[in-house]
Amino acid sequence: MSLFVRIRELVDSITRRVAFLGPILARLCVGITFIGTGWGKLHSLDNVTKFFTELHIPAPALQAAFVSGVEFFGGILIILGLLTRLSSVMLAATMVVAILTAKLADIHDVNDLASSTEFAYLAIFAWLAVAGPGALSLDALIGRFVHSREVPARSHG
């Protein structure tokens, strides 16, 4: 066996053992951030409503309360790894709206978009929505429990 193949197998073995780290670190990063931003918005809904009004977002008071709750509770769910895909899609949607309303004037090219914090969060939420929360999550724990409780179908042959 060549040295290259042995090195590749060693790297593959190590990365399989620590594969849980990527999702949990991403979830902690965005979860903590959005708990904080959601909490701040929930405690200053008047200011958020005023800002949403200035951005011409429809039903600004309703949207302010909704987005604040999505950020706060979505952040909690992301950290726990519970309903991760749903929470990620909802939080990704808030980032799309933020980019299209609050940030669009500052975006002149692809580099401006790609270097924005909102786009980075959007990318992380998209990854979590597609890849899932990883092994260290309540979603995975519930999945293992449900799978272990399934009764194999009987063969009628």
Ordered mean pLDDT values, 10 residues apiece, the chain (157 residues): 94 95 97 98 98 96 98 98 98 97 95 97 98 96 90 62
Q: How confident is the model at residue 152, as a pLDDT?
A: 67
- Decide if 125 contacts 89 (C-beta within 8 A): yes
Q: How confident is the model at residue 148, as a pLDDT?
A: 87
Q: How confident is the model at residue 147, as a pLDDT?
A: 87
**100 contact partners, CB below 8 Å, separation of at least 6:** none
* Residues belonging to the chain: 157
Is the backbone of residue 155 left (phi > 0), alpha (psi -120 to 50) or beta?
beta
